[in-house]
Amino acid sequence: MLKAGSTNFIYGFIGLGLGYIALNWSALEIIGPVFKFRMFATLIFSVLFLIVFGDQAVVRDYSGHLGGFLAGFFFAGFMPTL
């Protein structure tokens, strides 16, 4: 059964952000090491926040969350680099 929910979309954007940071880690030296770490930590904490407080329903769509995250991470390779 195919499901498309808002949390899957959010996980996709988080995966896109992490993939973009991973691909452009050395080019992000322009913004400084402190801001680069804060950007990475914000994305990690948003994933933890969504896992703990998101979707308190009985049936969670973990495969959809993982699929959204991996699709976002994959599509980060198609974004232009810095």
Structure tokens at 56: 């308190």
- Whether 1 maps to a domain, the answer reads no
Structure tokens at 68: 């959204």
Q: How wide is the angle at C-alpha 50 spanned by C-alphas 49 and 53, nearest 5°?
A: 75
- Whether 49 maps to a domain, the answer reads yes
Tally of residues, the chain: 82
Range of the domain at 39: 7-78
32 backbone φψ class: left, alpha, beta (φ>0; ψ -120 to 50): left
- Whether 2 maps to a domain, the answer reads no
Per-residue model confidence (pLDDT) at position 67 = 85
Note the pLDDT tens digit of each residue in 9-54.
888 888 888 888 888 888 878 888 888 888 888 888 887 887 777 6
Report whether pLDDT(6) > 70.
yes
The total number of structural domains in the chain stands at 1
Looking at this protein, which amino acid is placed at residue 7?
T
pTM above 0.75, yes or no: no
